[in-house]
Structure 1
C-alpha cells in the first residue's frame, strides 16, 4: 500500500492549526482527565500525530498509551477508530471516558442493540469522535454499512504486535488492517504495543509503510516494579506462596494480588486452597462463562486486598492502580507476555513485588500447550480439498471449517492468510450468514415508516422475512436473487431501519469471504509449504520460551536483560532484583525421560482400538497422551478415556518421538 502521512499532507498542517489542536488538547487534558501535563513519551507521540505523521508507539503496560489516541481524537476533525481485540478493555475505557464527559462509542458483541443504535447515531452525526471496534466487527459488511460516508481521521491499532506472525499473540485478521486504511482513505495511523521486539516493530512499520523516524519507543521496564525469580521445589513453592500472601494480608499497605498460573485446573485448585487458609481468592480463566468472568473481574476491581488466581486470560483491559503483587506461580511463556503481566502491577507508581516461582518442570506444560495447534499432514490436505472445490468467490465459517478438518480456527485463519500471501486468494469483506429482525411496529407499517430509506431494498427485506422463534429471519442471498437488489443495499437498509428505531437488528454466524486469484495447481507442494511455515512459527514459539527460561535463570540484572531483549539500552543494574541481591543463577535445564513407559504405550493401544479413525498420525497420538485437545477429541469426548493426559508431565517432543518410533 502507499505510505500514509506523506510530506504533502504534513505540509498542510499549518502553525495556526497546530496551535488550535494543542489548545484543545490542553483543555481536554485538564478538564476531562485531570492532568496538568503529558508525560514525555505521550508528548512525543502526540506531537507527531498533530504534525500529520504516523506513529508506532512502543510503551510499557501502564505508561499511558491509551491517552495518546483518546486525547488526539478530540482534536482531529473527524472520527478516530480504535481497533482492539480486547472487549473488556473497550468496555472499561468506554465507561471511564463517559464518566469524564467524553463522547465515545463501541461496536462489539457485548453491546446491546439499543446501545449500538444510539452509539452509531452519535458517530454518524459527528457528536462522537472516538469509536472502539473489535476486529470481527471492523472487517465485515455491517461496519461498512453503518459507517456510510463518515470520514475517518485516524486509525489507532491497539495491541499492534498481533500483526506479526512471529509475535507472541498473532491474530490473522490484523494483517487486513492496511487494506482497510487504503479502502477508507484513512490519512493517519497510530500503532500501539507494550511488547514488541525489533523484528515485530519492523513488521508493523512495513505493513503500514512507515519510516524508522515514526517509531516512539520507551524502555519496557518501570522502576517501581521489583523483579524477583526464585527456584524452588513444588512443595516449597506452595509453602512460600502461602507465607508471602499471609504476610501481605497482615501488612498495613493495602493492595490486591494477581497470581498467574498456566492451567485452568491449577487456578481453581489454588484459589480453593487459599480460601481454606482464610484468604480471599477467586479463580479466573477462559473456561468460565462471560457472566462469571465479568462478576469476578468486578469483584477484583472493587477489592482492597483480594487475590485473583488466573491464567493469562485475566488482565487484558484491567486498569487497577493498587495491584501490589504480581506473582507467577508458573512462569510466563515469553518475555513479551511476562512484560504485559507484570505491567498490570504498580500503576499508581508505588513499589510492587513481581515474584516468579521457578519449578523447572513447569516449562513442560508451557512448551506442550502450543503443540495442541500442531497440524497433521492429513488435516492440511483436507483443508485444501475443501478449498479447491470452491467457486471463484466463496464464503466460509472458519470455525466450522476448522471443526471439519480437525484444526484450530486460529491455524485455519493463519493458513488462509498464507494462501493469500502466496497469491492464491484475495480477501473479501466478512459477512453474516444470519440476520434477525425484531419489528418495533406492525410488519405492514415498516415500508411506510421508512420513507427516507432505500424503498426497493426495504420492500425486498419485508417480503423476505420468515418467522422464527425469537424474531424474523431474513435471507439476504434469497432476497438478492429474487428481488435483484444488491446485498450491500439490503445491509445498508437494515442498518438504517435499525438506526431509525423501526426494527431491532441482530446478526450471527460470521462468514469470511475469499476470491480465487490463482487456483492451487500443486496441492502437495502447497501442503508442504504450509506445514513448513507452521514448523517455523512453532520454532519461534519455543525460542520465546527459551528466552524466558534464560531470563529467569538470573544470570544478569533482570531489568538489564529485559531491556536488551526489547532492543533498548540499559547499562546500570537496578540494585533490587534477584540477581542484584545475589540470588541465582538458577539451573532451568530439564532432563526428560528417554522413554514414555509401558503404561502410556498400553493406554495408546487401547485408545486406538476404541477410536480407530482418530489416531492415524503420530501427532494426534502424542496430543492424546499429553492431554492436548483437538476438535476431533472434543467431538468424540476422547478426554474421558483413562489414557488422556497420562504423559502430561512429559515433553511433547519426547512423546511424539516415541509414537513415530512405533
Structure 2
C-alpha cells in the first residue's frame, strides 16, 4: 500500500468516522484490505473490529458484502454506519418485499457500499441470482470463528462461505472475530487461503480489567451478589453493571430480588417482546437503568464504554463466551471489575445441553438410508427440506446440519443448488396488460405463464412442472430458471407480488454405494467425539476459574496471546483474584437422592406408554434419558412429551448418570 493510500485512509478515518488515529491493529488490517489481500483480524472484544471493513469499503470500487450471524449485530452496525453517512443497508426477514427490492436495486446500481446479510440468506435461490448481477469487492465474515468445528458456536452454514466466495467471484475476504484459539485461527486461514502474515491479532490482555473468582454455593449466591453490588449502586453514583445468568427465569428472579433490595435493576432475555427489550437496552445505554440482569441475548454489538462491572451469576458456556462477555467491561480504558460468583451447580445443565445435541444412531441411519435411496436413482439428486428431515429422522436441526456437512467432508454428498420449493404470486395489474408489454417469443412465453398459473381468489401457485410441460408442447423455453427470472422482473416492475417458501437444498449423491451401517457407526463416533470435546471445553473453563496461576496470563495463553511469553513480561498481572492471593475451589452441586425402580416407573412410565401407543415402538435409552433430563427431540412435539410430569424431572442430574440408570432399568425389564 502506497503512502498516498495510507494518508487517504487516515483522512477518511478523521473526516468520515471522526477518529484522529487508528487503534491497535486497525491500521494493519485496513492497509492489507485496501491493498487487495485477504486478511483475518483477531481483535479482543471492543477493540474496533468493525472499522476494519467499514473504512476500506469506502476505498474499494464495488460492494462490500458483510455476513453476520445475528440480526442485532447487523442493526447496531448499520445504525453506526448510517449516523456517519455511509450508504449501507441490511437484508433481513423482518423487511417487506418492497423494502428488500429497493435495497437490492440500490446495490445493483452501485449506490450501496455495504450490504449486510445473514449466512442463511446465501442459500436463497433468488438472493444468489441477485448476487450474480452485482460486482462485489470484499466478503466480510463477522464472528468468523463460527466457521471452525474446533471453535465455539460452530455453525455448519459457515463452512460453505469459501465456496460462496468462489461462486460469486469475490476477490478477497476479511475474517473478523474476538475469540479464536490458535487451532481455530489455523482452520480459518486454511479455508480462505489467508497468508500467515495477513493474520492480525491484537491480543487478549487488558490491564484495566480485574478478574475475580469468588466461590459461592448456590443458596448463598444471591446474598453474595447483593453484598457486592450495594456499595457500587448508591443513588446518584450507580456503576453500570451487567449480571449474566443462564436461564430466563433466573434473570427475572435475580432482577426482582435486586429491585426488592432497593437496587435499580431490570431483567433482559429473549422471552421479552422486542419493544420491551429495545426499551430496556436503550435505558441501560442512556444510564437510566444502571444494572441489567441478562442472558447472553444481551450484549452482542453493545458499545457502551463505561460498563464498570460484568458479573457472572451462573457459569458461562465456555472460556470463549466468558472472554466475550467480560470484554464488554471498561471499554473506556478505566478500571473495571469482572466477578465470577462460581459454583459447580450450573455445570450439569451446561453439560446436558451438550449431550442433547448428539443424535440417536437410528436417526443417523435414517438420513443415510434416504441418501442411499436417492443414489439409486438415475439423476442421483437428493432434495432436502431440513425441517421435514429433522422431524422424520428425530435429529435436531443444528446436529442435522452438522451431519450433512460431515457427509460432504466424507465425499458422500455434495451440494448443488438450493431453491424455494413453492412460489406464489398475486397480480397487481391486469394479465392482459402484462402480455401486451412484450412482443414475439417473449409475448408467447408471458401468455404461457398467465395461462398456466391458476389464480384462486387473489393468489396463484407456480407449478414449475406444469409450466415446463406446457413449454415443451408450445416449443418454448419454460425452464424453472427462466420462469423465476421473469417473475422477479415482473415484481421489480411492480406488476406482481411474488412470495417463496419451503427452502429446499439439493445434493448430488457422489458415493451411491456405501455401507450404511459402517458409515452410521463412523458418524456416530464423530458426533460423540465432538460431544466429548465440548465437555472438555467446559472442564477447561473450570480449570481456568480454579487456576493457581495468574488468571489473566492463563486466559491470554488459551487464546495464543504471546505477549506473556517474553522474558520481560510479568509473570503475574497483579489485578486478578489469584494475584490477590485467592485461589478458588468451586463448591460442588448439592447431592441428590439415589434413583430407584419406583422412580423409573413413575417418571418414565407414562412417556414409554404414550410412545408405544402412538408410534408402535418402545423408546430407546437415549430417548428416555433425553425426556427425563428435559432435552428436546423432534419426536417429542407430536408426542406432546413436555406435557407429561416426568419431562425434565432430572435436569439437574448428570446426563450420563441418568442414561446409565435408564439402560439398567431396560435391561431389568428385559
Map of 1:110-121 to 2, 5 A cutoff?
A: 110-121=94-105
Specify the alignment match of 2:493 in structure 1: 500
Asked if structure 2 preserves the Cα contact closer than 8 Å seen for 1:281 and 1:309, the reply is: yes
Distance 1:615 1:354, change over 3 A: farther
Q: Deviations over 1:226-254 (max 9, x none)?
A: 22111011122101212334333316445
Aligned to 1:324: 308
Deviations 1:557-597 (A, max 9, x none): 21111111011132422212111112223246679779534
CA distance in 2, matches of 1:459, 1:350: 70
Q: Which residue of 2 aligns with 1:578?
A: 577
Matched, 1:126 2:106: no
C-alpha RMSD over aligned residues: 2.7
Change (3 A) 1:163 1:272: same
Counterpart of 1:311 in structure 2 is 295
Picking from 489, 506, 511, the partner of 1:513 is: 506
Aligned with 1:422 (options 410, 431, 445): 410
Is 2:423 the partner of 1:435? yes
| Structure 1 range deviating more: 547-556 or 477-486 | 477-486
Shift of residue 639, structure 1, vs aligned partner? 1.8
Of structures 1 and 2, the larger Rg is shown by 2
Q: Deviations over 1:109-138 (max 9, x none)?
A: 122322212211111111112111111112
Structure 2: distance between partners of 1:386 and 1:518 = 13
Distance 1:469 1:350 in 2: 65
CA contact (8 A) 1:141 1:491 kept: no
Structure 1 regions of 5+ residues with no counterpart? 1-12
- Count of aligned positions: 646
Tell me, yes or no, if structure 1 residue 404 matches structure 2 residue 407. no
Equivalence for 1:651: 654
Correspondence for 1:621 among 621, 624, 634: 624
Question: By how many angstroms is 1:517 displaced?
Answer: 1.4
Residue number among 323, 330, 347 corresponding to 1:346 in the alignment = 330
Q: Structure 2 regions of 5+ residues with no counterpart? A: 472-476, 666-670
Equivalent residue, structure 1, for 2:607: 607
Q: CA deviation at 1:73?
A: 0.8
Alignment partners' CA distance in 1, 2:125 and 2:528: 34
1:45 counterpart residue number: 29
Q: Give the SS at the match of 2:25.
A: helix
Matches within 5 A, 1:372-391: 372-390=356-374, 391=377
Is residue 179 of structure 2 the alignment partner of residue 176 of structure 1? no
User: Which TM-score applies when normalising by structure 2?
Assistant: 0.90
Question: How far 1:270 moved relative to its partner?
Answer: 2.5
Q: Which range moved further: 131-140 or 380-389?
A: 380-389
Deviations 1:7-44 (A, max 9, x none): xxxxxx7x4xx73x435423332222110111130011
Asked if the contact 1:596/1:647 (under 8 Å) is kept, the reply is no
Q: Secondary structure at the match of 2:308?
A: strand
Query: Which residue is equivalent to 1:635?
Result: 638
Q: Confirm or deny: 8 A CA contact 2:209 2:575 kept in the other structure.
A: no
Once the two structures are TM-superposed, the CA of residue 453 in structure 1 deviates from its matched residue by 13
More deviation, 597-606/63-72: 597-606
Matched position secondary structure for 1:250: coil
Query: Partner residue of 1:10?
Result: none
Cα distance change of structure 1 residues 406 and 53 upon mapping to structure 2, 3 Å threshold: same
Q: Deviations over 1:605-627 (max 9, x none)?
A: 34323433575221112111211
Find out whether 1:91 has 2:75 as its counterpart.
yes
- Equivalent position of 1:233 in the other structure: 217
From 132, 138, 145, give the equivalent of 1:161. 145
Structure 2 CA distance for partners of 1:596 and 1:212, relative to 1, 3 Å: farther
Q: Could you say if the C-alpha distance between residues 57 and 596 of structure 1 is closer, same or farther in structure 2, counting changes exceeding 3 Å?
A: farther
Secondary structure at the aligned position of 1:40 is classed as: coil
Find the partner of 2:199 among 215, 220, 245. Answer: 215
